[in-house]
Amino acid sequence: MFAALITGKNKVEMIEFPDPSPASSGVVVDIAYCGICGTDIHAYQSGAPYNPAICGHEWSGTLSAVGADVKSFSEGDRVVVAVAPACGQCAPCRAGQADRCFVSFMSALGRDAMAPKHGGFAPRIAVSASRIVKTNPALNDIQAAQVEPTTVAFHAVRRSGIRLGDIAVVQGAGPIGLGAMQWVKAAGAGVVIVIEPNEQRRAIALELGAHYAVAPGAAADELVKELSHGLGADIVYECVGRPFAVQSAVDLARRGGSMCLIGLADQEASISPVQWLMKEISVTAALAYNHEEFETCMGMIADGRFRTEPLHSLTIGLAGLDASLADLASGTSTNMKILVDPRI
């Protein structure tokens, strides 16, 4: 069996692995679709060492084998990838901080004891049974493959402390930004403004319910001031994942406002601490998600409160992964969420 791995700058290789078999507490999943994530794109651009276990971590599929000690799943079950639930034994769990469980966090990073040797850019994958959640039966496989990034955005907005009626700005209209925007609306924001340079992505933002979608620059700054009567946004979600965007998020916030950091910048960011101090900015940051959030997200996709269809722009086979990564890394791509179907 061959799996695709990002092995260097602008480099994807097909690596041969033995056909997987389940550990006693594990399962084997036949992959239906695996999404290309922003972390995959950053790794492709930078060439920095990239953990093979998370090279393709947004997948859905069907169980084809179940370990002897697994009782809650059966062959044929449709599943999505998640993080392990809280263990109840580590120091954070014993301190009553199950949402900070070390075991769960290590599984999100692909550094747990049963981390696979490759990700979901493959026909099959063997993982711990704790890492999967049964797919909501109302979801099709394409929707199911987008549950993981949907839950990333859900977790961030849930942590951010947004209040009913807030003026919210979302910087960046990639899959995570548009996901955050939908959850911000679901949470009761009064006005939602999306700032995004790509015209096509701005159009999708409006289709998904943003009140305004504008290009970055002076016009966006003036729009935020106008809508907030000169105060600035109540809360700004940074979903660009570039160093410059960290300070620009604070620039858009009002005094006493909030900034939620979601985008993962892989370089140092220059900020103006005096402005953060003078504005008394509250900051939250969000990485990954909690196990129990997956079922909540699937339910809200199923009932139509979150829409995945406009986000999915292209499906490719494993042979097209290199070209698609190059396209997404170019900064001029017309694609949004690209799904890899290893059966093609």
Q: What's 26's domain CATH number?
A: 3.90.180.10
Phi then psi for residue 175, to 5 deg, are -55, -40
Q: 71 and 32, same structural domain?
A: yes
* 265 in any annotated domain: yes
β-pair type (337-340, 312-316): parallel
Q: What's 188's domain CATH number?
A: 3.40.50.720
Q: 226 and 166, same structural domain?
A: yes
CA 149 to chain CA centroid, Å, is 3
CA 30/CA 142 separation, integer angstroms: 14
Nearest alpha-carbon partner for 92 in 81, 106, 102, 84: 102
pLDDT at 264: 82
DSSP state of 304: T
Which of helix, strand or coil describes residue 126?
strand
* 235 in any annotated domain: yes
Q: 43 and 62, same structural domain?
A: yes
Domains: count for the chain: 2
Q: 91 and 180, same structural domain?
A: no
CA 149/CA 147 separation, integer angstroms: 6
pLDDT at 53: 95
318: containing domain: 2-146+308-340
* 331 in any annotated domain: yes
pLDDT at 196: 96
Residues of the chain with pLDDT under 50: none
* 297 in any annotated domain: no
Where are the extended beta strands (E) located within the chain?
A: 2-8, 11-16, 26-35, 58-66, 78-81, 124-128, 132-134, 167-171, 191-195, 212-214, 233-238, 253-261, 282-285, 312-316, 337-340
Q: 170 and 92, same structural domain?
A: no
* 292 in any annotated domain: no
The string of DSSP letters for 75-125 reads: TT-EEEE-PPPP-S-SHHHHTT-GGG-HHHHHHHTT-STT--SS-SSSSEE
Instruction: Extract the tokens encoding 256.
Output: 């006493």
* 27 in any annotated domain: yes
pLDDT at 20: 96
Instruction: Extract the tokens encoding 262.
Output: 């979601």
The string of DSSP letters for 167-194 reads: EEEEE--SHHHHHHHHHHHHTT-SEEEE
pLDDT at 224: 98
Q: What is the pLDDT of residues 222-254, one digit of tens each?
A: 999 999 999 999 999 999 988 899 999 999 999
Q: 267 and 239, same structural domain?
A: yes
Task: Please state the pTM of the whole predicted model.
Answer: 0.94
